[in-house]
Amino acid sequence: MKKITRLLFLAVAFLFTGIAMAQSTVTGTIMDAEMNAPLPGANIIEKGTTNGVSSNFDGEFTITTQSTNATLVISYVGYETQTFTITGNKNLGSIVLVGDNSLEEIVIVGSGVIDLAEDRQTPIAVSTIRSAEIQEKSGNFDLPVLLKSTPSVQTLQSGGFGDGQMFLRGFDQTNIAFLLNGQPINGMEDGKMYWSNWQGVTEVANAIQVQRGLGASKLAISSVGGTVNIVTKTIDRKAGGFVQQMVGNDNYIKSTAYFSTGVSDKGWSFSGLLGHWQGDGYVDNTQGQGQTYFLSVGYQPTEDHTFNFLLTGAPQWHAVAGSGSIGSFLESERGRRYNSWTYNGVNSPNTLHGGAYPGGRNIYHKPVANLSWDWTINDDSSLSTVLYGSMGRGSFAQSITDRDTNELLYARGSNNNHNWYGAVTNYNNQLTETLNFNVGADVRFYNGIHFRDVREFIAVDAVNASSTYNGGAYQLTEAGGINPWEVFFNPNTEHDQRFGYDYEEQINYAGVFGQLEYAKDNFSAFFQGALSNQSHVRTEFINVQEAGVSEDSEKVNNLGYNLKVGAAYTISSMHKVFVNAGYYSRQPFHDTLFQNNRGGNELLSPEVDNEEITGFEFGYQFNGGRAISANLNAYHTTWDNRTLVNTNGENAEDFLSFQTLGVKQVHYGVELEVMTRPLDKLNLNGFLSLGEWQFKDNARERTFDQDGNQVGAEEEIVIDGFNVGGAAQVTAGINGSYEFLPRTSIDAAWNWYNDIYSTGSLDKETLSMPSYDTVDLGFSYKMQLGENNKSSLQFRLNVNNVFDEVYLESVNGNTQASANPEENYKGVNKDNTGRFGYGRTWNTSIRFNF
């Protein structure tokens, strides 16, 4: 018995000795590459087991492995995963995790309604810009400039502050869907984007994702060209902040401060940002200034519920730059800086109340608020809901002079106010291991308020006016102001202080959407659909039958829908292919429904039909790891049954409006994007986009007078084969960055634009414009400060258009080249209206992170 006991004792001893010999103790510290700071909460897992730990507040960890030949996998959401093979006890020292292109780390609230590409296994054509690049390169430009080094994108920035434009696959930003945390922000009336309303968005953006073509969005939105998702700060995982000071060309100054409390033990988090900017503008007499504010309050009562309230706004004013003939720029001593804005032929740069007032000033304040709720119902299902609202108040204040004496009389305001409320909700359920289903709703209520009034009296004390609603003749004796804060808090609500035009719009929208995705092994596929109804009512206050009684138009209801399908196949870990197809029946914009949007409630007859958009895409993705990756995309988009409405004047004696029916465009092309890392500290990327964008078939046009009566018969206009203008059909670029010393780097970008055509009268062939290219440079340096390098000081310098390239950025006109070369500029007739791009510009900043 004793021998048996001893034998059992020895067996147990040997067993535990063997286990002890098979185990290893591994220690290390996880660091954030961007901040060079400890990264708490990183996961350290022994591969093939459930054995794992997390790094502590200082980024430190200790793990005892279950095998002498263990593989440790170290990961953190939003960072590249690293693996280590362990043999025996070991201290790994500092392990630096580098941020990858995943957006999961920053999409904490409202994730179910923010349609990002990586939420779906079936790919799309997409490019993502993360917060570090936004911070470095935004400088003193509008958001679209950040996207110019992505395929099939061209940005224009030749006007004043906030006048930037963007084209995607040849479609202007009216037909690109812009989403802010899942909330649509294109104008409800016409789809337009005014970047002056969003001057502060680059300060609070954590990421910007460009989805070209069909995109991943489930909403029935105006994404003919693609979708741009702007994801802002919400809940920060750790406490800290920054203060930044920037200066730039033409007396540009921007000051910004941000602070976040991190998440408390009770689940609360607070963050806020304040900023101020001002500058003279590159173009003469385009001064501007504004503020940025941002507040985010988060609450996580349990692991299953996350709430976030967000409020942000960017009140601003800026003087505008007018387009003039190409010849006027060439003849002016100021050249590209010449501001051609005139009134009755008289250039009128005036300084009122310390601000520029050449021919006009844009004034706007549009605070946006939303409340998000994410509910993890169980392991397989979740619900995300976002309630949002915005109140836009603003005006275009234009100098009005006496036609005989050219004396400046007053500033007339063309006001475009709105109240916009909505909700987006999405339920997601992982039905099986292979099937994922989500369904949701999108509801919007929009009230547009449009009128003219007096913004500021200059040489007169009152302005005479007349309208039926106000009982005949009356006087305007009150001024609304030219400051965005004043405009917002003291809007003109009195109809007897309005003139010229005075009307409101009520646009209500309700839609449902859903998606089913199948994914198993190397194959994935999805089906997506949306159905919506949009109603329109217009209320008139000037041209009415009875004094003091407003008149409503007939209510219009338009059904719309979209269908999208796609599939992808992973050939190997390095190769993936996909195809997508979609069809949109898109409701017409409000502004195309009425005969005269500023003079009556009569609907166009026959009624405007839905636009028809059909898209096909093919893609190939190559993943060679960090060394090289590439994306190849081919697309074909048909935009049919468009209706265009435009006018040729504002005075009754010469006013005509034109309705063009049955316009069809076909856009197709290929895009190649290559990302390489030839050296450990060198990133080198490039892209090439080849497009062919043309009008197909002919269209029909009708003409209306001031009273909405049709003038003459409907006519056919010849447009078949004309090139679509506005953006370069062929673009290419190379960009890269090199860290030549620790935390010291340089970066550069070369962009080339070719096959560019003018815009102008639809029934006349567009003009071929000269190609051009630009080079931008940047320099960054980061100095670590404080205990454990938890703080840093960052320096940044951007120089745009380094070689001061002179180029025509846009041309509006159809006047063919003259036989006399002196009357042309690089083959374009000087009589055409155009704008030259900016010359060399720069900005530099210093930023303290804590």
pLDDT of residue 653: 56
Domain boundary residue, one of 97, 117, 142: 97
Whether the pLDDT of residue 20 is over 50: the answer is no
Does residue 351 register a pLDDT over 80?
no
Q: Is 189 in a helix, a strand, or coil? A: coil
d(CA 507, CA 190): 11
What percent of the chain stands above pLDDT 90?
Answer: 56
Give this prediction's pTM.
0.85
Residue at 292 is within a domain: yes
Residue 719: per-residue pLDDT: 93
Q: Which of 661, 549, 554, 651 is nearest to 598 (CA)?
A: 651
Backbone φ and ψ for 251, nearest 5 degrees, come out as: 60, 35
- Classify residue 182: in a domain, yes or no: no
> Which domain CATH number covers 44?
2.60.40.10
> What mean pLDDT do residues 698-716 have?
83
* One-letter amino acid of 815: T
Instruction: Choose the final residue of a domain: 97, 129, 160.
Output: 97
For residues 234 and 225, what is the distance between their CA atoms, to the nearest angstrom?
28
Q: Is 494 helix (H, G, I), strand (E, B) or coil?
A: coil
Number of domains in the chain: 2
Nearest alpha-carbon partner for 506 in 446, 568, 430, 581 = 446
The C-alpha atoms of residue 400 and residue 411 are separated, in whole angstroms, by 6
Are 827 and 320 in contact by the 8 Å Cβ rule? The answer is: no
pLDDT, position 100: 53
* Tens digit of each residue's pLDDT (9 = 90 or more) over 819-838: 999 999 999 999 999 999 99
Is residue 341 included in any domain, yes or no? yes
pLDDT in tens, 731-757: 999 999 999 998 999 999 999 999 999
Any idea of the CA torsion for 166, 669, 635, 175, to the nearest 10 degrees? 20
What pLDDT does 709 receive?
Answer: 76
| Residue-wise DSSP of 509-571 | EEEEEEEEEEEETTEEEEEEEEEEEEEEEEEESSS-SSTT--EEPPPEEEEEEEEEEEEEEEE
Amino acid (one-letter) located at 79: Y
- Name the 3-class secondary structure at 220: coil
Nearest to 815 by CA among 744, 759, 737, 734: 759
CA 142, CA 163: separation in Å to the nearest integer? 8
Confidence of residue 8 (pLDDT cuts 50, 70, 90): very low
Residues 643, 592: contact at Cβ < 8 Å?
A: yes
Say what the pLDDT of residue 479 is: 93
State the amino acid at position 117 in one-letter form.
Answer: A
Cα dist. 485→285, 312, 370, 392, 652 in Å?
A: 22, 14, 21, 11, 35
Question: What number is the average pLDDT over the span 483-490?
Answer: 91
Question: What φ, ψ does residue 619 adopt, rounded to 5°?
Answer: -140, 150
Residues 772 and 769: their CA atoms lie apart, in Å, by 9
Q: pLDDT by residue (tens digit) across 643-654?
A: 887 776 555 456
Q: Does any domain span residue 154?
A: no
pLDDT, mean over the chain = 86
Round to whole Å and give the CA distance between 471 and 469.
6
pLDDT single digits (tens) 356-365: 455 688 999 9
Distance between CA 34 and CA 331 in Å, rounded? Answer: 49
Residues 6+ apart with CB under 8 A from 407: 401, 459
- Is 120 contained in some domain? no
Cα–Cα distance between 127 and 150 in angstroms, integer?
7
d(CA 629, CA 626): 7
Confidence (pLDDT) at 17: 39
Domain end, chosen from 97, 116, 147, is at 97
Dist. CA 820–CA 817, nearest whole Å: 8
Segments forming the whole domain that contains residue 30: 2-97
3-state secondary structure of 574: coil
| Local confidence band at 135 (pLDDT 50, 70, 90 cut-offs) | confident
DSSP per-residue string spanning 441-462: EEEEEEEEEEEEEEEEESS-S-
| 469 domain residue, yes or no | yes
Alpha-carbon span 275 to 716, nearest angstrom: 53
CATH number at residue 517: 2.40.170.20
pLDDT at 117: 76
Q: What are residue 689's phi and psi, to 5 degrees? A: -125, 125
Q: Give yes or no for residue 457 having a pLDDT over 50.
A: yes
Residue 199 covered by a domain? no
> Is residue 206 included in any domain, yes or no?
no
CB 664 within 8 A of CB 700: no
CA distances from 771 to 363, 528, 728 (A): 35, 40, 8
- Residue 258, SS3 per DSSP: strand
- Cα(451)–Cα(465) distance, rounded to whole angstroms? 13
Amino acid in position 219: L
- Local confidence band at 323 (pLDDT 50, 70, 90 cut-offs): confident
Residue 794 has which token pair?
């960052």
